[in-house]
Amino acid sequence: MLNMAEGLDRLGALAAHPVVRTLATAFADAGFDLAVVGGPVRDALLGRPTHDLDFTTDARPDDILRIVTPISTAQWDIGRAFGTIGARVQKEQVEITTYRADSYDGVTRKPTVEFGDTIDADLVRRDFTVNAMALQVPSVKLVDPTGGVEDLIAGLLRTPTDPDVSFGDDPLRMLRAARFSAQLGFRIDDDTADAITRLRATLEIVSPERIQSELVRLMQTDDPVRGIRALVETGLIDEFLPEVSALKLEVDEHHHHKDVYEHSLTVLRQAISLEHSRHPGAEPDVALRIAALLHDIGKPRTRKLEDGGAVTFHHHDIVGARMARKRLQALRFDTATTDAVATLIELHLRFFGYAEGAWTDAAVRRYVRDAGPLLERLHILTRADVTTRNKRKAARLSSAYDDIESRIAALAEQEQLDAMRPELDGNRIQEVLGIRPGREVGEAYKFLLDLRLDEGVLGTDVAEERLRAWWAARA
């Protein structure tokens, strides 16, 4: 809960920040107002770390640039059309924006920029009340025209104006509501949530790249599940990632199966927990988290109701991988992330065959080879995918995975598994078989690689003998 006395002390500390103090003095000397605005003020009141410093001022862009140039090592005006000037002050990157009074055309989410004259009018146009607060400096005065402090105390996300107007102006704010709900642990106000449900279809005017950016920021939070629930409950997720809400499969009185939606959210939470425990301090692994959320999206398409009440989802891993790839491409994710997510989903069931019966060393090698650089992520996803309440079964699966990781480590140490190659290279294959470069060399190379995976190191003489026998049988 927000302690106002402590919060005010933290605002004083924010005002005393060397960069804030330097800018406040420069703008005051030039005869302009300056205030820290938005996230830094909210986070200071909550006692959360402040990462980026954003400012608002009555100075116009040309004046801002003139003021910051002598006290900064770099400046950029790429946002000048929107009233924003960036600068690097004392090694910190800051953005300073002229008071705005934007209006939107209702067709795209691009605002028609109009500069404002008052800080109150600038704050009212922002997305949520908790982000519509400013700290005037150097006077250290909190400006809160929309009740942001009260909403911080209540843990509530609410738009500063009528939510229909706010979301109608900028539909991306609906997605931000879910992200801030996860990031801050706040509840979305009922009227605000109802407006998201009514206006969810307007998200279509927002570019896939902007939606993807907000989705990534949601997945980077410590508890994205909270935001995902908000997206599903309002129906907003159906506008850009309908495969998630489709996981809510109906269960009839004759056929029963695990709640796939709740299972997927549990897997996501468990994957994040394992991510933190195995790699403390590392940046959030967005690809792993998306794979955890989407790992079972192939189940609705592959579900089959069997006689006797059984439900099967044959090949849902393969189907799900294809679905995930298509969806991430539509959201303009980069190729590396898309490939990683699709591959993790395709491989996420592979381990359960190991749990049912001991694998040969060759099978373990193939598991490693197929996972490639995603092996550690696959370890986490597979472990997170165990959500059974049967303690004996959970312990058995955990023990089996401990075993496979030990075997992988041992094999890697013995054979430098990550850099495994056949014992004969392409040139030697051509010499032994008396053939020219072409398709047959590639087939022979694959045969030797499989031989190495299946039987380990044989020595070059034995490898050549086996290669000749393979070639003769092939002929």
Q: Letter for the amino acid at 435? A: I
Which segments of the chain belong to CATH 1.10.3210?
246-419
Other CB atoms within a 10 A radius of the CB of residue 2 amount to: 15
The CATH number of domain 1-154, selected from 3.20.20.60, 3.30.460.10, 3.10.450.50, 3.90.79.10: 3.30.460.10
CA angle at 92 for the pair 91 and 95, rounded to the nearest 5°: 135
Q: In degrees to the nearest 10, what's the CA dihedral of 212, 214, 219, 225?
A: -110
pLDDT at 257: 56
Q: Can you tell me the distance from the alpha carbon of 237 to that of 227, in angstroms, rounded to the nearest whole number? A: 10
Alpha helix positions (H), 200-251: 208-219, 224-234, 242-245
The CATH number of domain 155-240, selected from 1.10.110.30, 1.10.12.10, 3.40.50.150, 3.30.1360.40: 1.10.110.30
> Cβ distance 324 to 343 under 8 Å?
no
Tokens found for residue 370: 């197929």
Q: Letter for the amino acid at 177? A: A
Q: Letter for the amino acid at 366? A: R
Alpha helix positions (H), 249-374: 260-278, 286-294, 299-302, 316-330, 335-347, 350-356, 361-371
pLDDT at 252: 47
The residues pairing with 214 across neighbouring beta strands, listed in sequence order, are none
**Largest distance between two CA atoms of the chain:** 90
Element (DSSP H or E) covering residue 411? helix 391-415
DSSP state of 115: B
CA angle at 42 for the pair 40 and 44, rounded to the nearest 5°: 65
Which segments of the chain belong to CATH 1.10.110.30?
155-240
Which segments of the chain belong to CATH 3.30.460.10?
1-154
pLDDT at 6: 81
CATH class for domain 246-419? mainly alpha
Q: Can you tell me the distance from the alpha carbon of 89 to that of 69, in angstroms, rounded to the nearest whole number? A: 9
Angle between helices 460-474 and 439-455 (to 10 degrees): 130
Q: What is the mean pLDDT of each run of 10 residues along the chain (475 residues)?
A: 74 94 97 96 91 93 96 90 92 94 59 81 94 95 96 96 93 97 97 97 96 98 97 97 89 59 96 96 97 96 78 88 98 97 95 72 85 93 89 84 84 63 88 91 89 84 93 86
Alpha helix positions (H), 332-387: 335-347, 350-356, 361-371, 375-384
Alpha helix positions (H), 416-459: 426-433, 439-455
Tokens found for residue 156: 């509530």
At residue 98, φ and ψ (nearest 5 deg) are -65, 145
C-alpha to C-alpha distances, 419 to 3, 362, 368, 414, nearest whole angstrom: 56, 15, 11, 12
Contacts (Cβ under 8 Å, ≥6 apart) of 113: 81, 82, 83, 100, 102
Q: What's the length of the chain? A: 475
Q: Can you tell me the distance from the alpha carbon of 174 to that of 227, in angstroms, rounded to the nearest whole number? A: 11
Angle between helices 260-278 and 224-234 (to 10 degrees): 160
pLDDT at 255: 45
